[in-house]
Structure 1
Amino acid sequence: MKSDKLIAVHNGALGDFLCAWPALLALARGMAAGESSTAGSGAAVPPERAEASQDDTPRLLFAGSAERLPWLAPLGYAPCPPAMRRALEELYGCGREGCGEDGAHNATEWPQPLAGATVAWFCLDRVAAAPHPRIVPLPCLTGGQDTDRQDATARESCHGQHVTNALRGYLERAAPASLPWPPRWDADWPAAWRRLFGGWEGAASRTVVLVPGAGHRAKQWPPRRFAAVADALARAGYNPLYVLGPAELERGLDRTALLPPDLKAAVITPADHDELAQLLRRARLIVGNDSGPLHLAALHGTPVLALFGPAPAAAWRPHGAVALASPLACAPCSATLRSLGCGGVDAALGAAPCMAGIEVDAVLEAIWDLLERSA
């Protein structure tokens, strides 16, 4: 029976989701175009489509964090019903097969709650479920980027295309035949985001937001260097503002290192993504590690300076942001950060060596340039 519904599964972090948002928009636009075409033609609904549409479940569903839904509801996504969520959880398998491989020979019985549905499963390089004809893997890393080898060839493979462009290529080349409707990519998707969720409002602000956390500790710049940047900003007449998320609070990020006694800087932990977005949109500049808040700020059009160490800026740079990469020859070393060439965070440095290799003077030089350009 032909699929009548599409379930988009995305269980990644905030930054991963925001990089995938243009692909989710393309899937939604494809459905809308198909409905408009059918309505305009006056053609009868095919029998297999009518059979699949007997229930009242929306045709475009999202299975992932509920915090992401405000960015998807305007596109037509509805939350995946509980019965379908439970059926999706039953699909989780070994995940050893490479994302995008033909796994039809491993097909198992499709769960009844998912009848008439195709699953578009977003992933880094591999899906967490066993292959099935109804599962369309959407990998955001191209071949060779996901590597655990710590050698020159591995480092070279980290300089691939951006994950958003990788998803676009996969949607346009590999996925259409497996999806219920052809996706329609919006070439000006950043404008679509800002029409829906607002643009930058901080051109006249004196607030510079500092984001010292990250999803992986190896991506964090040493806290004391953030303190040096905050001090320089305050002396120049700007208002440094630290933004900490739940991960930093859970890990017990050293606030003493961020805030020496003689430094005047505020610390805020936004209650939700809406509060975070409002704060980022109204700031003059965002400076921080490769993390979700920087991706969100960049989508709204706020100037962003992103610091990169083990992860490749070519793949993960927030759209429109300025990336300052580690000068160390060993960086970047891993697109997924499953394993690192140096072993991770050095206790003496308080950071991974590649992040510690980024000097305060280099960061300040980039900050002054961005502040001048954003005046």
Structure 2
Amino acid sequence: MSGAERLRVLIVRTSSLGDVVQAVPVLTALRRALPAARLGWVVEEGYAPLLAGHPALDDLLPVALRRWGRAPLRPAHLAELGGFLDRLTGFGADVALDLMGSHKGAAIAALSLAGRRIGLAARCRREPESALWINEAVANEAPHAVDRYLSLLAPLGIPSGPASFAPEALFARARPPLPAAVAAGGPYLFLHPGAAWGNKRLPAATWADALAQIARASGLRAWIGAAPGEETLAREIAARAPGSAAIAAPDLPSLGTLLREARLVLGGDTGPLHLAHALGSPVLAVMGPTDPGRHGPYRAPERVVAHRLPCSFCHRRMAEPRPCLTAIPAGEIAARALALLAGNA
């Protein structure tokens, strides 16, 4: 066995959902190139079910930075943090891959005590000053996040492609059945209308109109994901779109099942849309403030509806949708969805 095969490699990508999903090809590429290496991943506890039991992953190191941050001095949280740091150093990483480009990710890589801490060069990072925490910088400004992540394998002599999400390996330990009402209703569309950015959320009336047009032409029922905090939005769309209904997605594994079984998943530039694409489900993303070439479904430009306006792709977070989204008509979304369903897109 060569020294390279005995490497212990730690992936640091804690959040958010879409970013964790888009980092999965790094794991599959590492395992393909280093079949005997020990591979670990630091991820926020809420996203751990996505990776738990993944056959390419030896050690999953959940972290609760978001929860701890709400009460950082609580004794129980300090004890949990100490336990995490013990597990982090106990992994014994030779290489830490900082896929975050931030102080948080680079600090975790440094705290792992890995001798090699690989990350993007300062000019390519979200927080340029965080490059001080790494000791091997990769200058790569590839448009898409997946390709930027894969570029960090170059110092290890590992080819960046072909990129694989290995959908059969995701949610290996958590695959709940479809809700009974969904299973009984036959083939369906799934819409995830929510987004953390207000300007990534298409108006409810537009979504409802698009769903109604798709239903009339295809006969498919639409289930609208009601994620925690987004129940009102889901119910509003369902009330406007005849034959559709809101469905709770209370946790990540339940959402994964709904996405995996859908005939088509619609949404914006959000984690659930990227998750559906990684799971191998057909998707259609409606995008405005973010560039499809950088943030759209990986290598699937035909699965995006976007208008290029002077204000488009600003990558600025705002409270309400702007013309880059509001100018997209429901009919255009429905036509593209129907073409995808027919296999003509």
Partner of 1:126: 102
Distance 2:89 2:126 in 1: 36
Distance apart, 1:145 and its partner CA: 8.6
Asked whether the equivalents of residues 167 and 280 of structure 2 are also in contact (C-alpha less than 8 Å), the reply is no
Partner of 1:238: 220
Select which of 293, 297, 307 maps to 1:318: 297
The alignment status of 1:9 with 2:12, answered yes or no, reads yes
Distance 1:268 1:374 in 2: 29
Partner of 1:187: 162
Structure 1, residues 92-135: CA drift from partner, whole Å, max 9, x if none?
xxxxxxxxxxxxxxxxxxx9757665432221x43324595746
SS in 2 for 1:32: coil
Structure 1, residues 68-112: CA drift from partner, whole Å, max 9, x if none?
35535311332338899836988xxxxxxxxxxxxxxxxxxxx97
Partner of 2:243: 264
Query: Which one has a bigger Cα radius of gyration?
Result: 1
* 304-313 or 62-71, which deviates more: 62-71
Distance 1:170 1:363 in 2: 36
**Aligned letter for 2:233?**
L
Question: Relative to 1, partners in 2 of residues 1:12 and 1:326: Cα closer, same or farther, differing over 3 Å?
Answer: farther
Select which of 144, 156, 166 maps to 2:148: 166
**Aligned letter for 1:253?**
L
The alignment status of 1:367 with 2:344, answered yes or no, reads no
Asked whether the equivalents of residues 160 and 314 of structure 1 are also in contact (C-alpha less than 8 Å), the reply is no
Query: Over the residues paired in the alignment, what is the CA RMSD in angstroms?
Result: 3.9
TM-score normalised by structure 2 residue count: 0.70
* 159-168 or 288-297, which deviates more: 159-168
Question: Relative to 1, partners in 2 of residues 1:140 and 1:25: Cα closer, same or farther, differing over 3 Å?
Answer: farther
Question: Relative to 1, partners in 2 of residues 1:220 and 1:165: Cα closer, same or farther, differing over 3 Å?
Answer: same
SS in 2 for 1:74: coil
Partner of 2:195: 214
The alignment status of 1:287 with 2:266, answered yes or no, reads yes
Asked whether the equivalents of residues 214 and 220 of structure 1 are also in contact (C-alpha less than 8 Å), the reply is yes
Select which of 15, 22, 28 maps to 1:19: 22
Distance apart, 1:60 and its partner CA: 2.7
TM-score normalised by structure 1 residue count: 0.65
Question: Relative to 1, partners in 2 of residues 1:112 and 1:71: Cα closer, same or farther, differing over 3 Å?
Answer: closer
What number of residue pairs does the alignment pair up?
Answer: 292
- Gaps of at least 5 residues in structure 2 are 64-77, 129-140, 173-182
Asked whether the equivalents of residues 49 and 253 of structure 2 are also in contact (C-alpha less than 8 Å), the reply is no
Aligned sequence identity (%): 25
Distance apart, 1:16 and its partner CA: 0.8
Distance 1:65 1:295 in 2: 17
Partner of 2:57: 76
- Gaps of at least 5 residues in structure 1 are 36-58, 91-110, 148-158, 177-181
* 234-243 or 221-230, which deviates more: 234-243
Within 5 A, what are the aligned runs for 1:139-178? Answer: 139=120, 143=124, 161-172=143-154, 175-176=155-156
Partner of 1:50: none
SS in 2 for 1:241: strand
Distance 2:339 2:7 in 1: 51
Distance apart, 1:22 and its partner CA: 0.3
Distance 2:119 2:189 in 1: 36
Question: Relative to 1, partners in 2 of residues 1:144 and 1:292: Cα closer, same or farther, differing over 3 Å?
Answer: closer
Distance 2:79 2:93 in 1: 12
Distance 2:196 2:39 in 1: 29
Select which of 238, 248, 258 maps to 2:230: 248
Distance 2:126 2:50 in 1: 31
